[in-house]
Structure 1
Amino acid sequence: MTTDPWGRVDDDGTVYVRTSSGERVVGSWQAGAPEEALAFFRRKYDALVTEVELLEQRLTNTDLSAAQAQSSIDRLRSSVQGANAVGDLEALERRLDALAETAEQRRAAQREAQEQARTEAREIKERIVAEAERVAEETTHWKSGGERMRQLIDEWKAAPRTERSVEQALWKRMSAARNAFSKRRKAYFANLDQQRERIRVEKEKLVAEAEALQDSTDWGETASRYRELMQQWKAAGRADRSAEDELWARFKGAQDVFFQARSAAFAERDAELQDNARAKEQLLEEAKQLLPVQNPRRARSQLRDLKERWDAAGPVPRDSRDQLEGAFRKIEETVRKAEEQEWQRTNPEARARAQDTVDQLRQSIEQLEQQVEKARASGNERKLREASESLETRRAWLAEAEKTLQEMN
């Protein structure tokens, strides 16, 4: 009988493997020496060792999934348990047990990673849905809002998937937000179309009136009405672009016809009024000779004559009217002020009041002079000082009052 630490060959050629529970027949060998039989069955054991080592390397060095690893472990375990091989089969099973524990750890880690990935995916898609709902409820910038909604749909498609139930619930909200946005946008533009149609009808009326006025020669009243029509046009808002452009062209065309005709009429009239302007320029030069005013009464008489001639000269062109009228009014104002000053100077009542003021001040000064003398004689310094100060003030007032009275006289 030939033996080995892990097996033996009986005299009849039966091959056994030794285990902790006893020997087990793994085959028979009739073709050669017993040593060859043991070597043959040891090679089968070595093949199993090689498979176990390869699985250990894959589980250690690659991202082999726990499920794939466990499937390989179960297959190898079945092969080892019923193996027709000679070797330490129980040692192989212990190595497979260790691999099974490693696979379970990987399974737990993969479950945790998957749960983390699902959580992150859920958070990403909840953020996308929340923004989509905000856009659907709040935005009134329809172009940018529509573009942002399309971007959010693309972000949803690109985002990782989470649990099926959560995915379906979030997509239901996403789809509802997109539909709500589309309904709000359609309602807005439908209402906008109605508003634009009302505006178009209103502006049609404004255009019709503008065109009816374009041949008017009532320049002032019609120009004022055109300004009112323009204010109404601006306040009405905008119709759709094509109608707005067409209506504005008609409205502006009617205005241009009227104002061009008015400008031509004014230009013709201004040419006729140039003689009037030259006459008033000559009158203005004569009026300037009254300044500075020496004799207000004579200046007023001369200015009255010039004013009659000024009015008789008639209207002047608009571009020179303000300048001429302003210069003449300035001369009139200067003469008027000179008359007022002359009247105030020669007014008997004013002279009487001025004379009365002078008399009162002189009387007050005489009294103060007596008080000064008394205070000086009695040696009362305080009364002397007070009386002297009052006396000085009254003398200054008297000088001014006498000057005013002299000017009046």
Structure 2
Amino acid sequence: MSTDPWGRVDADGTVYVRTADGERVVGSWQAGEPEEALAFFHRKFDSLSTEVDLLEQRIKTTDLPAAQAGSTIARLRESIVNAAAVGDLDGLAKRLDGLTELVDQRREEQKAAREEARENARDVKERIVAEAERIAEETTHWKSGGERMRQLVEEWKTAPRADRATEQALWKRLSSARSSFTKRRKAYFAGLDSEREQAKEVKEEIVAEAEAIADSTDWNRTASRYRELMQRWKSAGRAQRDAEDRLWGRFKAAQDRFFQARSAVFAERDAELSGNAEAKEALLTEAKRILPITDLRAGKAALRDLQERWEAIGPVPRDSRDRLEGGLRKIEEAVRKAEDSEWRRTNPEARARAEATVNQLRTSIEQFEKQLERARAAGNERKIHEADEALAARRSWLAEAERTLNEFS
């Protein structure tokens, strides 16, 4: 008869496990020594323990749904109760009790998250309804208002759902707002002739001003004014078709005359700025020497100096502006990425996780090395082979974990 802290083998080969409730039979062994029987049932226990380890890791390090985690805990608890295994089954059950507490906490968190999501959905749909009601009550831009109303309906369809009562109440308000908007729009089109006459008068004023400023040389202010006139044109509504086409032709001709003159002046100015472009081209070449960034502090200092000198040079021709500015932005982006990389490398939470993994694997390797020594001392080839395989796998994992940890140094 052979025994260990967690079980024993009777003279007739019956294998028992010890638990807080006493001994119970887990199987029988007729094929060899009692130690071999216990080793066999210990491996069954190790398999259960590994499942608990994996579940514990998933619960603590992933967003495993509480329901799924709970069902897995229940399955494992039943497996432990009826396990044909020798080991600290009570300890495994206690670990599952601890995981149950974590899962209950996560379930409450997920419940709170769902409630928050419903609140957010309500806020989103209340915003949609409020905007629809504002459009229904205030807008006189029928085309844009109708398009926006359709967009709001689509936004409603794609928005997350709130509770049923809130959904029904808000949808009723949205439907009422759409109906109100439609009635007002129909009333508007009933008096459309009068509105079109008014639109023609507004656009005649716009055209008169556009023609009056067509020869202006106050480039920036006048260009801005033309944009404002264009916005007024768009918001004025449509006149009768023949009047609309005639007035648009005059407006566009005045606008084209101004912008063509401005383009000619800018082209001449760009030629005068070619020296600035050459200076920035040289500065950009110098800036590229910052890469690759090996000393972040020095790289940032060099970039600040380059940025100050860049601004001091002044404007460049428009045809080279985007290319030069884009080149500098690439250098700035590289420095920013280096800053982000440095932050990730020195992240204490990630480092702590990496250290914990390394320490856990080292402890596991030490345990398997002891098992290997015992197996060699006993001349047990099967156990030697199993321990060798386990050590090889964990040493490989340790090497990868140490490489990860070294990235933080």
TM bin, normalised by shorter chain, reads: 0.3 to 0.5
How does the TM-score come out when normalised to structure 2?
Answer: 0.47
How does the TM-score come out when normalised to structure 1?
Answer: 0.47
